[in-house]
Every structure is written in C-alpha cells, then in structure tokens.
C-alpha cells in the first residue's frame, strides 16, 4: 500500500469514529436529565468528534490551504466550547435552573448561599 492509500484509510476511519462520537454526544444531549449532564454531552464528545472529523478531512484532502483552515476551526472549537460550557453552568447554577438533587457533591453551595445572604442584608463582612 502506498502512503496515499494509508492516509485515505486512516482518514476514513477517523471520519467514521468522529461522527460516531458526535452522534453519541447528540444522543446524550437529548437524553440526559439535567443541565450539567447536557453541558458535558455538548462539549466533550462533540469537541472530540469534531477534532476526529477534521483530522480525517485533513488526511483525505491533503492540501496546505485546507489543512490550515481546519487548524483554525480546531482552534476556535477548542477555545469556545469550554468557555461556553463554563458560562452556561455558572448561569444555570446561579439562576437555580440546575436540579440540586442530582448533584452528588456541591462544593460551591454553602459559600454561594452565604454570599447571597450577605448581599441581601447589606453586610460587607
């Protein structure tokens, strides 16, 4: 087998694996019960799936202009997905949109309740 056939085979496997992981993430996004589970399904498998799909495309296309464009897409996804998930989780926790009975361990809960009580009463300490 030539190196081009090996790249085509590796690219095809990467495309199939990436699309499968993205599909599992999409199913998890629809099926998980709370905002934190959905947030996990929306970021981790989707990012890995997209990364594998873009690697597969790079292996199949093999032009410098296309590979450079794919690197820009990977960078944008790697920077925006974690920030979006963090902001979504923070906003849902603060607004009470999360289901507290599904949280196994809430490290922020006591400190956050104390802070909101101090703000409500006007205490500075």
Instruction: Parse the chain into domains and list their residue ranges.
Output: 3-100
Q: Measured between alpha carbons, how far apart are the two ends of the chain, in Å?
A: 72
Total Cβ atoms within 10 A of residue 93: 18
Q: Give me 32's structure tokens.
A: 């998980």
pLDDT over 60 (residue 84): yes
pLDDT over 60 (residue 125): no
Q: What is the mean pLDDT of the chain?
A: 86
Q: Give me 12's structure tokens.
A: 């095809």
User: What angle is formed at CA 91 by the lines to CA 85 and CA 97, rounded to 5 degrees?
Assistant: 105
Residues in the chain: 125
Q: Which residue has the higher pLDDT, 124 or 35?
A: 35
Segment 11-33 shows an average pLDDT of 94
What is the model's pLDDT at position 14?
97
CB 63 within 8 Å of CB 76: no
């Amino acid at each position: 087998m030539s190196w081009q056939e090996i790249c085509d085979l590796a690219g095809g496997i990467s495309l199939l694996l990436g699309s499968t992981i993205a599909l599992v993430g999409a199913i998890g996004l629809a099926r998980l019960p709370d905002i934190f589970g959905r947030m996990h399904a929306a970021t981790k498998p989707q990012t890995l799936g997209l990364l594998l799909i873009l690697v597969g495309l790079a292996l199949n296309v093999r032009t410098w202009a296309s590979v450079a464009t794919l690197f820009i897409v990977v960078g944008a996804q790697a920077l925006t997905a974690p920030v979006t998930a963090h902001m979504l989780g923070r906003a849902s926790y603060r607004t009470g949109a999360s289901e507290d009975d599904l949280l196994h361990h809430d490290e922020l809960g006591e400190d956050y309740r104390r802070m909101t009580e101090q703000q409500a009463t006007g205490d500075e300490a």
